[in-house]
Structure 1
């Protein structure tokens, strides 16, 4: 195969200070395994490079540094500019030069991607306005606190919205990279890359994010996404109709899926999740019942007490005293 062959996929990487090394490495590994026959790793079908304003090594969140390969230059030489984020801290924002480079890329109609918290960097540049942004469930509240008018997608592993792509980080970076390989090089190359990385199959972007602890364990992807939406909005519960609408289905369909998978209606599942959080706060904090009611979406303390007693047979205060007694005995 001729190394002079024009690559079908060209990607430039911007690494934020204290970026997540695993997300970057996983994304790149899919590219290198798809770029060449076998495990040759030659950048033939696709090419990638790490960009920088001054070529200074960039330190990841784990301390390992990556040496950039090219200056920022003209963004139109790439099909995608991928920004990899990591720690959320004022000191980890992109440089003004990198932010300007991203804006030039957007003006040149180069697609932009945010990996892990890289979508925060794009949003800070105003480049996610009007686009859906995929954010890890772990950083859902961080995103809301910084971008009050934007509603992050935290129930999918990645999101492709026209010329903006974002993913939640971790192994989802591999699936987004495989999506791009499939789009530009072919499905066989994407499958090959994932197989070598010991990843069973390519997952679509709407696959629910794993890892968020839930009171209920669901197998149905639609039900899992609904449960995540409930947990991410504990303090201000969404109506079941709203959740169904956000998921693109009718309320009746959502109720049927809950019944088949969990044997309970969505409203009951929401109560169980909020009660589980109330128990956690009773056990691990000294918050008043009124504050716990506020944080778990109940109207007031009386409402929480009534629902809690119906579910457990005791009041929240009695439950807390019982838990404290067990801890003391232990």
Structure 2
């Protein structure tokens, strides 16, 4: 008997992505994401995302130092799988109540979205998302200079400001005004084949320049082409410095320590132990520049054995004491 011909496999349904317009939002990221999505659809030769421009209502939206933009549909009627909440212009971290009062309709609209709707946001656009309660119990990041204010206003969020992009259960957040770049890198990595993603990274998703100590150069997640190595770096960031072990990290990633060490060396030029240490010290450097926390508190938060061990390791790598680094770079 002739063998049965299997039925054709239907391509997965496109993800409906709502680009959210709200007063004071920075529209540049929305246009950039629209370009990335269109390029991804073309490169994949199928529709990965359907785009729709949405607003709380259908009134023209005054954006920050940009044009007034007209939503095509209300957020409630968008039937979106994902809503992208773009960056919000804030001039100060000292008072979040005023902008949140002005954005009350937006916060209410986010609260009324179905629980299954995923939210993506970056920079200070994470503020109204947090105010909506959609980040309660979730891991998230945001723009670095809001670090202390967000800890104070939204203590129920698992803030991870040392990470450029954080994937929670139903929320994807990224840090910085250009946070849509690592955010879309994370999102598209789940949709595209590695070669397709590489093409988009080379053509569109360029990492933003950052002034960092030369010893920390090349450690940014956006600079790593290896997905497993990006995951390893995030695990290192979340692990106490005194508890870092190559064997344990390799086991979590389901690779051998030798394979992981080889990948670290190929991508960064560092030995694996060196790379892990540099990541923790990069977190120290960020905390020194972005907060007024004392060294002892930083050592405790990042899991160093003691303040003295942090100072010793930091000086060995940078040639500077933490205090001197803070004075020079904060």
For these two proteins, the number of residue pairs brought into alignment is 275
TM-aligned CA deviation for residue 222 of structure 1: 6.9
Alpha-carbon RMSD = 5.5
Equivalent in 52, 55, 60 of residue 56 of structure 1: 60
2:196 equivalent to 1:194:
no
CA distance in 2, matches of 1:210, 1:136: 16
Q: Deviations over 1:73-117 (max 9, x none)?
A: 53462222221122345344363322222122134x222222333
CA distance in 1, matches of 2:103, 2:174: 22
- Aligned 1:267-278 pairs, distance under 5 A: none
- Secondary structure of residue in 1 paired with 2:114: helix
Larger Rg belongs to: 1
Q: TM-score, normalised by structure 2?
A: 0.57
- Aligned 1:53-92 pairs, distance under 5 A: 53=57, 55-60=59-64, 63-72=65-74, 74-75=76-77, 77-88=79-90, 90=96, 91-92=98-99
2:111 equivalent to 1:103:
yes
CA distance in 1, matches of 2:135, 2:118: 12
Which residue pairs with 1:28 in the alignment? Answer: 34
Which residue pairs with 1:206 in the alignment? Answer: none
TM-aligned CA deviation for residue 121 of structure 1: 1.6
Unaligned runs of 5+ in 2: 1-12, 220-228
- Secondary structure of residue in 1 paired with 2:111: helix
Which residue pairs with 2:18 in the alignment? Answer: 12
- Aligned 1:86-235 pairs, distance under 5 A: 86-88=88-90, 90=96, 91-93=98-100, 95-107=103-115, 109-137=116-144, 139-168=146-175, 169-176=179-186, 178-179=188-189, 182=191, 187=193, 191=197, 194=200, 197-199=203-205, 211=210, 213-214=212-213, 216-217=216-217, 221=230, 225=234
- Secondary structure of residue in 2 paired with 1:172: helix
Which residue pairs with 2:4 in the alignment? Answer: none
- Secondary structure of residue in 1 paired with 2:113: helix
CA distance in 1, matches of 2:238, 2:63: 34
TM-aligned CA deviation for residue 133 of structure 1: 1.4
Which residue pairs with 2:222 in the alignment? Answer: none
Q: Deviations over 1:136-162 (max 9, x none)?
A: 455444432332343323454433334
CA distance in 1, matches of 2:251, 2:132: 29
